[in-house]
Amino acid sequence: MLSAFEVVAEPNRRRILDLLREGRRPVGELVDRLGLTQPTVSKHLRVLKDARLVDVEQDAQRRLYRLRPEPLVELDSWLAPYRELWSRRLDALERHLDTMADDAPAPTRRSPAPRRKQ
């Protein structure tokens, strides 16, 4: 079985997860929204299902897929230190820009250029 990292590394599977984040959807709607063939979408859905990132339920003749966000906790935990790193860097940039603004000379008002006689 592939890890959640390996599964979401594929761009089309991320697109499917994005669509399923909005709510459950049948395969046909995913095909239409993604612009991929039905066999391609089904292949990606199978991988997502095997990784337990999606569930499928039968609704009469349709199979509806929905997102299971719980397995994404592993990804979120792995990304947390990187979010913290970026937050610290952005805070440092903000402090630097504030210092630059404090040190900058006040803008001077320039008088308009004299008009030429014609």
Q: Which CATH number fits domain 4-68: 1.10.510.10, 1.10.645.10, 1.10.260.40, 1.10.10.10?
A: 1.10.10.10
- pLDDT of 14 reads 96
Question: Read out DSSP for 43-89?
Answer: HHHHHHHHTTSEEEEEETTEEEEEE--GGGHHHHHHHHHHHHHHHHH
- pLDDT of 87 reads 87
- pLDDT of 98 reads 87
Residues in the chain where the model's pLDDT stays below 70:
106-109, 111-114, 117-118
Q: What is the mean pLDDT of the chain?
A: 89
- pLDDT of 106 reads 67
